[in-house]
Structure 1
């Protein structure tokens, strides 16, 4: 009897790219006020500083500014492009986490962000989800048209063999039927959402001296998540709108990995040449690696039980939730978020956070409050675990 060999990832096109700058997409147009409004609408972030012209003009900013999370919406590929480098045949990708550093330069209507990208490193581990699984990291530096540093990101991609994940069916075994919410439950969710948005609407920042270790932040809820909400989120990432970007490559790099095929399974790739005539052939809601987010059948082909949300969206939720608490005179300086499980169709997401430390001497040159944030679903399953350092007025 022949012993069945274990599946393996083909990393022959990955190793030689480690540590090298890579290319990707660059948006043609500056960020508009409508782009900002579309983004906060998709993230269900009702902070009036980002959409209400009268409110924003009366603020210290004198007009609408984008939330801190906007950098990922003005990037290509949900910010994960430099973590998805090299062709791995038969693979798929989900997001594993993000780490962000912010430098105090707000994005305003009319600004344009430029990105420098580098494939940082990877490791391979055996997981119950898909067997041999790559955890790869990539770095992106975001600067505006004046060269001012806006943010840095380190993204983590999880790359795995879709066939193996589909055979193991981890999420399908864990999930039951889509949750059907009663009218009373939905009323309770709406009341909690409304209560949270009132706590941050004024933009008044807590003072560093007033905040104490052990303080909890107001609870937030998102959802129930639906195909409509996932679609709204995807369309707020500007790169997926027809004709919005060009391919760019760093100078002096041989084979800089600009728009090559990462090895997606059949039915999940783009037709770059065909899209010159029919742009729908690279529209991620219809074709490409993101189609499983809104198509339960396609989700099943890559190991997911049903339609599911976006990693970059969860990262943005975390950043903006904390930035809203920090108010108009505060900001998130650093946040590291580990993604544990997606937000599935029918679920809701709860935000619970606690102050765990106060730091007076920091590398940022200002005192910082450290906050631990967890995102969970209605069954207490953890979606995201984040730790952030937040600047407050002092």
Structure 2
């Protein structure tokens, strides 16, 4: 057990094991253009996102924040081994159950922050993006409300060539 007793050995055993996976539909030129128009509205988006002036290698590229999962994924799933989630843990972001481990007995949660690291590999028409999520680590702290568990997740996006496009990190605070 950890100092405050929130991080159990079975929880540490699942750190960095994939628990969720999404595969996008192939990205289309229209998807990229519509995303760029919506994100930059009311301004005109940069020409490279509209195909008016392509990227350095002459091809249309998506803005770095483009999300091929915004409308729907072609395939979504867990990695197997999941257990039922108790009603008290539904709706607070628990993910340990996807790997067969009971979540900690905490009833409240809030978003502790998000970040994205872009690798410079652009998304292009025809790309199929796979997003795989892991629990990247746990930290526990004492707060005014008692013991608090910070759970960091990392979702890595790769294209069909195995190139990493970006890594999205989120911290979930449970107490």
TM-score normalized with structure 2 length: 0.59
Show the counterpart of 1:135.
Answer: 150
1:48 is the counterpart of 2:64: no
Show the counterpart of 1:155.
Answer: 170
CA offsets 1:308-339 (integer angstroms, 9 cap, x no match): xxxxxxxxxxxxxxxxxxxxxxxxxxxxxxxx
Structure with larger Rg = 1
Show the counterpart of 1:124.
Answer: 140
* Candidates 77, 95, 114, aligned match of 1:85: 95
Structure-1 separation of matches of 2:116 and 2:108: 24
Quickly say closer, same or farther: Cα 1:9–1:50, change in 2 above 3 A. Answer: farther
CA offsets 1:315-368 (integer angstroms, 9 cap, x no match): xxxxxxxxxxxxxxxxxxxxxxxxxxxxxxxxxxxxxxxxxxxxxxxxxxxxxx
Structure-1 separation of matches of 2:33 and 2:105: 39
In structure 2, runs of 5+ residues without a counterpart are 79-92, 97-102
Show the counterpart of 1:94.
Answer: 110
Count of matched residue positions in the alignment of Structure 1 and Structure 2:
145
Quickly say closer, same or farther: Cα 1:28–1:105, change in 2 above 3 A. Answer: closer
State the Cα distance separating 1:33 from its structure 2 match: 3.5
State the Cα distance separating 1:68 from its structure 2 match: 1.0
State the Cα distance separating 1:145 from its structure 2 match: 0.8
Quickly say closer, same or farther: Cα 1:40–1:132, change in 2 above 3 A. Answer: farther
TM-score normalized with structure 1 length: 0.30
State the Cα distance separating 1:90 from its structure 2 match: 5.6
In structure 1, runs of 5+ residues without a counterpart are 1-7, 161-394
Q: Secondary structure at the match of 2:22?
A: strand
- RMSD after superposition: 3.9
Q: Secondary structure at the match of 1:48?
A: coil
Which fold has the larger relative contact order, with Cα–Cα distance below 8 Å and residues 6 or more apart in sequence? 2
Show the counterpart of 2:127.
Answer: 111
